[in-house]
Amino acid sequence: MTKITPVILCGGSGTRLWPRSRAIKPKPFLPLVGDYTLFEESLRRASDRSLFDAPFIVTGGKHLEHVESQLGFAPDAQVIVEPAARNTAAAIALAALRLAPDQVMLVCPSDHYIGRVDAFVEAARAAAELAEGGWLVAFGIAATAPETGFGYIRRGEAIAGGGFKVDRFVEKPDLQRAVAFLAEGAYSWNGGIFAFRAGDFLKELGEHRPDILDAVRGAVQGGTQDGHRFHPHAAAFAQVPSESIDYAVMEKTTRAAMVPADMAWSDIGNWDALHDARPKDELGNCVVGRAELVDCREVLVESDGPRVSVIGLEGVIVVVDGDEVLVTSTAGVQKVGKLGGAVNQ
């Protein structure tokens, strides 16, 4: 098997982990679980150079400083600096056009948490084998709850040698459908992790969205290399239609496959999900920073400085970050992104 080239996407900022995650230092670049940032962990997971080639990182100019200061697990990385945000189809096409057609890409978001790295590597290996057979492969992440915040993948027939054809991709369901998906068992979460040969991806993109492919190709042809950085041509890239890989390619191709991945995955999509991913004491409490908890259960405290004293609460999250203090119930985490502080940062 040829080596796999990780393509790490460092995209938008998000507001759901505000005030810890801010526009100026978003989620991927924070040590949310453990000592390393989510971005660093995404490089670390793919740091076995007998299996993975040097990664490509696709990011925006405003995150470049964070990226380059967190390359300890991949000093050999190439960085593609997007002049503007144009969603995942364009970001992946940028990387694909910088690779040889038969190189296998493993596209990974940089803001997710994966608890079982062994399972990730095993799934990556399986996905790469399918990719070498010409498949466009999605990781099908084992669904453990009726989540309404993710897209789903319905498994089709098995492929000889491993994996499954994709029966269909399903957009974020309502709760009733999510419960039914979980009961049926053929559905897994679409976590945005994909493997394919660069040439296969570009061929499918050219078939279904030639406008995107042509525009990205123009931006790459007019681009400039500067050390490990590649800068696509800004004016050309500004013309690229903004579309996700799911819409542009995966839902349209007849060569979509999936590999099951049961790897303690979380998108750390809100403070409650972060609390879940973290180690806790026997009462379910988790403290980062200085804190004293009295008569508390399932309380998460995170402070960047001030001491936090909490008495008599259950299922509450307290975050202190600079000039902002957030106190929310577990259920209330869904509304964090709508707060004035999060919207107007």
Residues that bind a copy of itself (CB under 8 A): 19, 292, 294-295, 303, 305-313, 316, 318, 320, 322-329, 331-333, 335-336, 338-341
Whose Cβ is closer to a copy of itself: residue 148's or residue 329's? 329
In whole angstroms, the minimum distance from the beta carbon of 339 to a copy of itself comes to: 5
The answer to whether 324 and 15 have CB atoms below 8 angstroms apart is no
Measured between alpha carbons, how far is residue 231 from residues 60, 86, 108, 238 in Å?
A: 10, 14, 21, 13
In whole angstroms, the minimum distance from the beta carbon of 110 to a copy of itself comes to: 27
In whole angstroms, the minimum distance from the beta carbon of 298 to a copy of itself comes to: 14
In whole angstroms, the minimum distance from the beta carbon of 28 to a copy of itself comes to: 23
In whole angstroms, the minimum distance from the beta carbon of 301 to a copy of itself comes to: 9
| Residue environment code for 35-58, b if the CB has 16+ CB neighbours within 10 A, otherwise e | ebbbbbbbbebbeeeeebbebbbb
Residues belonging to the chain: 345
Whose Cβ is closer to a copy of itself: residue 241's or residue 332's? 332
Whose Cβ is closer to a copy of itself: residue 87's or residue 303's? 303
* 40, HSE (Cβ side, Cα atoms, 13 Å): 16
Whose Cβ is closer to a copy of itself: residue 153's or residue 274's? 274
Q: What would the two tokens of residue 52 be?
A: 């993975």
In whole angstroms, the minimum distance from the beta carbon of 34 to a copy of itself comes to: 24
The answer to whether 111 and 38 have CB atoms below 8 angstroms apart is yes
Whose Cβ is closer to a copy of itself: residue 207's or residue 281's? 281
- DSSP codes, 251-288: TT-S-EEEEEE-S-EE---SHHHHHHHS---TTS-EEE
Q: What's the N-to-C CA distance of the chain in angstroms? A: 47
Residue 59, judged by CB atoms within 10 A of its CB (0-12, 13-18, 19+), counts as: buried
Whose Cβ is closer to a copy of itself: residue 19's or residue 173's? 19
